Amino acid sequence: MPTLTADDPLPALPSRVLVSGSSGSGKTTLCTAIARVLDLPYTELDSLHHGPGWIPRADFVADVRAIAAAPRWVSEWQYQAVRPLLLARCDLAVHLDLPRALVMSRVVRRTVRRSVGRVELWNGNREPALRTFFTDPDHIVRWAWRTHGRSAERLTQIRTARPDLPVVVLRSRAEVNRWLDVLADVR
C-alpha cells in the first residue's frame, strides 16, 4: 500500500487507528481529534503505563492487549513492549513527521506549563522541576531532541511489519488540520 498524504482519499473508513511520531509531535492531540471525528474510544497509553511514582504498571501490557483486541479504537504507537500488539490490529496508521523546530517548541512549552503549574499527569505524577533538564539525560526535552531524528526509522518499522497497511504521513500543522477536515467529510 502506498504512503498517503493529507489530500489522498482513504481506502476505507478506519475503525482502529494508530498514530506514530516523536515526543511532542502531537500524537495525543491527534488521537483525541480522531476519536472525536470517528467516534472511536481512546485511552492515552501514558495513563496506562505510568503508575504512581512513575513506576511502570504491572498490568500495562494486559491493558493494551485488551484495547488492541477491541473492534474500534485509536491509540498512540509508543512503548516497545506493546507496539506489535497495536500494529497487528490497526487498519490505518497516521505518522506525524513534523519539523524539529515545531516539535521542540511544543515540548518546551508543554513541559514548562506542566512543571510550573504542577499539573497532575497520570496517577499522581507531575513533571519534575525544570532544573532537572540539566541533570537528567532522559528529561523529556532532551529525550525529544535526541529521538526526533528516528521518524524515518519508525515509518520503516511500520512499513516492514505491515506492508498492506495504509499509512498517512503528515508533515506540518496545516497537513494535520487538512487531513482532519477530510476525515470529518468522509465520516
Domain boundaries, position 117 = 3-186
Q: What is the pLDDT along the chain (187 residues), one digit of tens a residue?
A: 679 999 999 988 999 999 999 888 899 999 999 999 999 999 999 999 999 988 999 999 999 999 999 999 999 999 999 999 999 999 999 999 999 898 888 888 888 888 888 877 778 777 877 777 778 787 787 878 887 778 888 899 999 999 999 999 999 999 999 999 988 887 6
Helices 140-147, 100-116: crossing angle, 10 deg rounding: 170
Q: Give the number of domains in the chain.
A: 1
Other C-beta atoms closer than 10 Å to the C-beta of 185 total 8
Query: What's the CATH number where 56 sits?
Result: 3.40.50.300
Would you report the helix, strand and coil content of the chain in percent, each value rounded to 5?
50, 15, 35
